[in-house]
Amino acid sequence: MPEGPQIRFIKDQSEQFIHQPVLNAEGDAEGIPLDLIKGQCLTDIKTYGKELLFCFPDFAIRVHLMLFGKYAINGELNRKLRLGFEFENGTLNFYASNCRIIREPLHKLYDWSLDVMHPTFDKKQALAKLARKPERLISDALLDQNILAGVGNIIKNEVLFRRQVHPESTVGKIPEPVLAQLVQECVKLSFKYLEWKREGTENEHWSVYRKKICPRDLIPLQKEKIGRQGRTCYFCDKCQQLYLPDNIA
């Protein structure tokens, strides 16, 4: 599933269409009024976590790539088109994505201070929200889009490895400074990820994600589905500390 930095990268590439009128809109996305979009000028593109928001004067189109979504800029993929925009200077096509029209002002729906890549991201608020569910596993908590919007499975795994925290640790048992470092690392790594994405080198930089050997200890990494969402965790039993409640430890 594309994570915040990948969504920001799509935004970067799509900015060439801002201030352009939509010449044609096509696709089988349910509930998207294609006729209404035609002729409208794209005024802005925003991102929120894993969502792209294409802004028009009176509404916005939200695109979420979900698990298997794809996109093509100035090109077409051999798939069923979900939503495609044609501009004078090119095309923007989405496949296997979830698309929705938003008629309310965006600030009423989105709290940008939850987005780890937004300038208003509020670290203290994220820590306070983490503290509200102390019994949760950290591997679940970091993926919570209502706390750290944009963080996905790659960032989660890499951040836990970098800060040496075991994914099965209980949030409430992780010392506060370590938790604060985890949140900070989510921000830092998201921006690094975007840089690497722009260079096309992101896959060269992962320490544990889809890797087999711990780069610190040179021993095999663990690969397990952990937590309520059952997302795959890659981790090292030796150098990532497990913080457990007293009754389990």
Does residue 221 interact with Zn ion by CB under 5 A?
no
Q: How far is the CB of 196 from Zn ion (least distance, A)?
A: 22
| Part of the chain binding Zn ion (CB under 5 A), chosen from 69-77, 113-121, 127-135, 211-219 | 211-219
Measured CA to CA, the distance from residue 199 to residue 217 in angstroms comes to 29
Site string for Zn ion, 188-207 (x = CB under 5 A): --------------------
Q: Choose between 34 and 239: whose C-beta lies nearer to Zn ion.
A: 239
Q: Choose between 93 and 169: whose C-beta lies nearer to Zn ion.
A: 169
Q: Choose between 174 and 236: whose C-beta lies nearer to Zn ion.
A: 236
Q: Choose between 129 and 216: whose C-beta lies nearer to Zn ion.
A: 216
In terms of phi and psi (left: phi > 0; alpha: psi -120 to 50; beta: otherwise), the region of 22 is beta
Q: How far is the CB of 185 from Zn ion (least distance, A)?
A: 17
Cβ-in-10-Å burial (0-12, 13-18, 19+) of 204 comes to exposed
Does residue 236 interact with Zn ion by CB under 5 A?
yes
Does residue 214 interact with Zn ion by CB under 5 A?
yes
| Part of the chain binding Zn ion (CB under 5 A), chosen from 20-28, 80-88, 187-195, 233-241 | 233-241
Does residue 238 interact with Zn ion by CB under 5 A?
yes
Q: How far is the CB of 162 from Zn ion (least distance, A)?
A: 12
Q: How far is the CB of 143 from Zn ion (least distance, A)?
A: 22
Cα torsion at 36, 37, 43, 47 (round to 10°)?
120
Q: Choose between 16 and 222: whose C-beta lies nearer to Zn ion.
A: 222
Does residue 217 interact with Zn ion by CB under 5 A?
yes
Q: What are phi and psi of 43, to 5 degrees?
A: -90, -30
Report the largest interatomic distance among the alpha carbons of the chain, rounded to a whole angstrom: 64
Q: How far is the CB of 181 from Zn ion (least distance, A)?
A: 17
Residue of the chain from 1, 72, 239, 242 that contacts Zn ion (CB under 5 A): 239
Q: How far is the CB of 208 from Zn ion (least distance, A)?
A: 9
Does residue 216 interact with Zn ion by CB under 5 A?
yes
Q: How far is the CB of 222 from Zn ion (least distance, A)?
A: 10
Q: List residues near Zn ion by CB under 5 A.
A: 214, 216-217, 236, 238-239
